[in-house]
Structure 1
Amino acid sequence: MENLPEDVTGNNTANCTIDHSIHQILSPVIYILVFVVGLPANCLSLYYAYLQVKVKNELGIYLCNLTVADLFYIFSLPFWLQYVLQHDNWTYDELLCKICGILLYENIYISVGFLCCISIDRYLAVVHPFRFYQCRTMKAAIVVSIVVWTKEILTCWFVFKHGEVSKDSDSHVVCFEHYPIKDWEHNINYYRFAAGFIFPFFLLVFSYCGILRVVRKSHGTQKKKKIQIKRLVSSTIVIFLVCFGPYHVLLLVRSLFEENCTFAAAIFNSYHFSLLLTTFNCVADPVLYCFSSENTYQDFVKIGDTCLRCLRCVQIKTKESYQLNTPETFKKFKEQTELDPELLDKPHVHEMEET
């Protein structure tokens, strides 16, 4: 099962002795919780995004991409769970380590990208409803989505061209972790902080302030619609700050000050707790669907009705199957056929029997 490169010992952190107990205590709980809650929530959100796309709402395109990014990361959680339960010892090959690392990276920055897309889309819809109408079409949303994915995939190719497995002081093969951070990571981390956090943060704040200003001045917009718009935009900012803020701040701190194992050990728990916060993004993103449409309640009612109809069909089929196989039903059918043998020759004997 273990297929690691021969030069893994050359890329090691054997001189660093760091307590990884947070991975055995907190990480498994968070991973299991996010997987159990996030998987069904995002599957439901994906269906809801489909309903939005079906009615030609460009917002559904962004929500759909956001959900797909979350689901990709959720599918990698079992591997991360096994990794932390084995005391940070990666037992798979380096390629799978890179794939899981890419899914983690993509979940952060694809999510950030589409949170910005949602906020800008609402900003244009509220502040400039006619001037930038062509930017809020289905075609434009698809083009923007392709650009976001392409940008992050190319960035991943640059980030993950280095070795992603190394050995620690316990001779465990660690994945996606270097202590202290390598020289080549500094510039990448500065880019991630600037392009993946600061710039999106200003976009979100700009959108929120513009929308809030117009909504307050508008007398024609219904109160319910105003509340819905405010909640959608404010929830994107809250998700962004809570899930991604602490991680990027500590990422910058590590890049500026982490030069030895002493500092790496001191910041280890805080940094990995912030990394766990990014995982909650997979659970928080479906909240956006509650504020993305005026017909949210009706859509969820439709979903509930569909589930109930399916459930009733299963119950009815089970009940009919049970009745046809009971001794009483067989006895009744036998008595009828004895009284009228011609029933056996009739094509719809069961239907006639039920009527």
Structure 2
Amino acid sequence: LGPWNTTTGPSPARSNCTLDTGYRFTFYQVSYGAIFLVGLATNGLALHRLCRSPRALNSTAVYMASLAVADACFVASLPLRIYFYHRRGRAFSALTFAVKYVSLYGGVFFLACIALDRYLAVVHPARSALRRLRFARRLSAAVWCVVLGLSAGLPLLRYAGLVSPRRHHPCLLDPTSRRQRPLILMALGLVLGAFLLPAALLLFSYCRVLSVLGRRRRRRRRRRALTVIYWVLAVFLLCFAPYHANLLVYTLSHVGLLPACSLARASMALHPVVLSLASANCCLNPLVYYFSSGPVGGGDWRCTQCCRMCLA
């Protein structure tokens, strides 16, 4: 689930809580293969559209480009990740963990940046200083520093206080070890904070945007804009919320803070599904800004100016 083992039970004394998850290696190879093909097509179209767009570079375009880069990097790394699972976790483990977090939290943070940008444009249009190109570039650079730091820090966290690595999973912490429990809880706090704070910002921004749009008279444009926003919120919650909720349950049950064996087994069984959903975000992000962006090459796109104003 994170930089800790997902194959053992909560404690050696509770061996009946273990679950055979050997199927996950085949599941990941199939799901990541499909995500790679779809993501290659959608991100290729989105990057092509961004490069050919004649409109001036603005704050939204900066965040969109950063999001596209994070998604493209993850898609490009999927063959390596498929090989990682083909070797059953015995190759390039630290690198695959790091790239996964770049895509996962790059998506979370830059979607939050786009939401904040739309909030300022719709709710506080007079505050133009926060939407200037220079501010957007600095914020984007700061987000990249946070994402790269988090992505490199979580896999490296296992080295702190360990006597020796796990024999079969050298990149994973052992949730049954009391010595490693503080490290696991620290990593859990970082991961949940990296999701919950941007999620709160995104939800607040779009709720305020929806409130303002609800008072607009142009129903057709408002309906299209609302459709895009609802779709983005649904994608965000579908891709990211199940993964982090399952991560919380898994970690607390496997370090002994949640006593129910059923929770431990259910979280282990659900992990391949929720992780694949989180990874599929790289396929869905390009569809958002591809179909909600402005016309390219004089084409007559159905998205209106209101839609582009509300969510790029």
> Normalised by the size of structure 2, how large is the TM-score?
0.77
Which residue, 138, 153, 156 being the options, matches 1:158? 153
Structure 1 residues 205 and 173: alpha-carbon distance in aligned structure 2, compared to 1, 3 A threshold = closer
Q: Is the 8 A contact 1:242 1:277 kept in 2?
A: yes
* Aligned mates of 2:298, 2:220 — CA distance in 1: 15
* Aligned mates of 1:48, 1:145 — CA distance in 2: 20
Mapping for residues 312-331 of structure 1, pairs under 5 Å: none
Structure 1 residues 175 and 71: alpha-carbon distance in aligned structure 2, compared to 1, 3 A threshold = farther
**3-state DSSP of counterpart to 1:20:** coil
1:133 aligns with 2:128: yes
1:209 aligns with 2:211: no
Q: Which residue number corresponds to residue 103 of structure 1?
A: 99
1:56 aligns with 2:52: no
* Aligned mates of 1:64, 1:284 — CA distance in 2: 15
Q: Is the 8 A contact 1:228 1:292 kept in 2?
A: no
Which residue, 194, 197, 200 being the options, matches 1:196? 194
Q: Is the 8 A contact 1:239 1:281 kept in 2?
A: yes
* Aligned mates of 1:43, 1:151 — CA distance in 2: 26
Q: Deviations over 1:44-86 (max 9, x none)?
A: 2112223458522321211111111111112221122123233
Shift of 1:173: 4.1
Structure 1 residues 197 and 22: alpha-carbon distance in aligned structure 2, compared to 1, 3 A threshold = same
Shift of 1:151: 1.4
* Aligned mates of 2:56, 2:21 — CA distance in 1: 49
Higher gyration radius (CA)? 1
Q: Which residue number corresponds to residue 249 of structure 1?
A: 245
**3-state DSSP of counterpart to 2:210:** helix
More RCO (CA 8 Å, sep 6+):
2
* Aligned mates of 1:76, 1:215 — CA distance in 2: 39
* Aligned mates of 1:37, 1:156 — CA distance in 2: 24
Give the superposed CA RMSD. 3.1
Moved more, 195-204 or 277-286: 195-204
Q: In percent, how many aligned pairs have the same letter?
A: 27
Q: Which residue number corresponds to residue 282 of structure 1?
A: 282
Structure 1 residues 215 and 134: alpha-carbon distance in aligned structure 2, compared to 1, 3 A threshold = same
Q: Which amino acid aligns with 2:190?
A: Y
Q: Is the 8 A contact 2:53 2:295 kept in 1?
A: no
Whichever structure has more helix as a proportion of its residues is: 1
* Aligned mates of 1:63, 1:269 — CA distance in 2: 34
Number of corresponding residues? 278
Q: Which amino acid aligns with 2:67?
A: L
Q: Which residue number corresponds to residue 115 of structure 1?
A: 111
* Aligned mates of 1:180, 1:238 — CA distance in 2: 35
Q: Which residue number corresponds to residue 218 of structure 1?
A: 216
**3-state DSSP of counterpart to 1:29:** helix
* Aligned mates of 1:281, 1:297 — CA distance in 2: 28
Structure 2: gaps (5+ residues)? 1-6, 302-312
Q: Is the 8 A contact 1:113 1:148 kept in 2?
A: yes
Q: Which amino acid aligns with 2:194?
A: G
Q: Which residue number corresponds to residue 338 of structure 1?
A: none
* Aligned mates of 2:242, 2:34 — CA distance in 1: 20
Q: Which amino acid aligns with 1:114?
A: F
**3-state DSSP of counterpart to 1:217:** coil
Mapping for residues 8-157 of structure 1, pairs under 5 Å: 18-52=19-53, 55-86=56-87, 88-90=88-90, 92=91, 96-129=92-125, 131-157=126-152
Q: Deviations over 1:142-174 (max 9, x none)?
A: 11110101112223343232348954xxx6446
* Aligned mates of 2:79, 2:222 — CA distance in 1: 41
Q: Is the 8 A contact 2:104 2:278 kept in 1?
A: yes
